[in-house]
């Protein structure tokens, strides 16, 4: 069995007396879409922030391909293929869709400042290659006809899709998505879900946080449930959604007891 792409071992983050994440251990395989769910305040986003280097852990470790990358800055982790999106749309609102995608590609555009400034052949060839990749990525996402649109003019669902395009331009091996379906209609959420499945089909590992259970149940191969910073359940969507500990965390002990 192949080794996991990412291994999280007893990862913790304490803010004073608050244990936002408390001893989280999990693996992320290359061949699955992993979901992380839990009530508000469960520690889901904090966990993603720890894994992606946005904040440093109090203890524990993050390993990528077996190498310890605990506490690495987000830029370096992204260079290694670990890319994330945020809850809010993080597009550059006054730039075009194409320009937004170019920002994602800068991570691997190693022509150097002075080579680009002097417009050398090396810089021009690199930019041509990136422009071609942008066109292909936008067409693949069904956004080819919006390449020159200003990002702020796009419907919210397309701004979410643009966030995926920016992440893809960074050539990820793992993409972590924080509430990709938040604020979307059912049809828009379904479109995002199918797009994430297509991304995974390209050999990219995916970790998703979202509160939409219908969305997560139709997307994830495995789901981890967090509550008060700890992992309380893990398994297939159907197994997790029927777990009494999960029901209690979401709906309360009285409801969980009434079902048994």
pLDDT digits (tens, 9 = 90+) for 179-204: 999 889 999 999 999 999 999 999 99
Q: Is the pLDDT of residue 132 over 70?
A: yes
| Distance, CA of 23 to CA of 126 (rounded, Å) | 44
Tell me which of 155 and 103 has the higher pLDDT.
155
Whole-angstrom CA distances from 98 to 19, 32, 137, 149, 222 are 41, 30, 10, 8, 34
Instruction: For residue 80, give the nearest of 188, 173, 151, 210 by alpha carbon.
Output: 173
| Distance, CA of 114 to CA of 8 (rounded, Å) | 40
| Distance, CA of 230 to CA of 25 (rounded, Å) | 9
pLDDT average, residue stretch 2-30? 93
Domain 6-259: assigned CATH number = 3.40.50.300
Give pLDDT tens digits for 44-97: 999 999 999 999 999 999 999 999 999 999 989 998 999 998 765 667 788 999
CB 97 within 8 A of CB 147: yes
The reported pLDDT for the residue numbered 191 is 94
Give pLDDT tens digits for 91-124: 778 899 999 998 888 766 655 444 455 566 666 6
The reported pLDDT for the residue numbered 108 is 61
| Distance, CA of 94 to CA of 100 (rounded, Å) | 9
The reported pLDDT for the residue numbered 113 is 45
pTM value is 0.87
């Amino acid at each position: 069995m192949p080794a996991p792409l990412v291994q999280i071992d007893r990862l913790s983050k304490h803010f004073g007396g608050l244990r936002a994440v408390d001893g989280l251990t999990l693996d992320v395989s290359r061949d699955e879409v992993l979901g992380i769910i839990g009530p508000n305040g469960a520690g889901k986003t904090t966990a993603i922030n720890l894994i992606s280097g946005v904040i440093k852990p109090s203890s524990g470790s993050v390993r990528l391909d077996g190498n310890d990358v605990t506490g690495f800055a987000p830029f370096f982790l992204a260079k290694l293929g670990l890319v994330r999106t945020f809850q809010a749309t993080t597009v550059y609102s006054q730039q075009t869709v194409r320009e937004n995608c170019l920002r994602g590609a800068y991570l691997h555009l190693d022509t150097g400042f002075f080579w680009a400034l002097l417009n050398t052949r090396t810089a021009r060839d690199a930019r041509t290659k990136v422009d071609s990749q942008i066109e292909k990525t936008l067409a693949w996402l069904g956004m080819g006809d919006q390449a020159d649109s200003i990002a702020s003019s796009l419907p919210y669902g397309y701004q979410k899709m643009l966030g995926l395009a920016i992440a893809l331009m960074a050539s990820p091996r793992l993409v972590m998505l924080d509430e990709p379906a938040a604020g979307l209609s059912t049809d828009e959420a379904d479109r995002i879900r199918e797009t994430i499945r297509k991304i995974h089909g390209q050999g990219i590992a995916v970790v998703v946080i979202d509160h939409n259970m219908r969305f997560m149940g139709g997307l994830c191969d495995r789901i981890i449930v967090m509550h008060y910073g700890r992992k309380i359940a893990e398994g297939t969507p159907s197994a997790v959604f029927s777990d009494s500990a999960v029901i209690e965390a979401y709906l309360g002990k009285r409801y969980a007891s009434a079902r048994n």
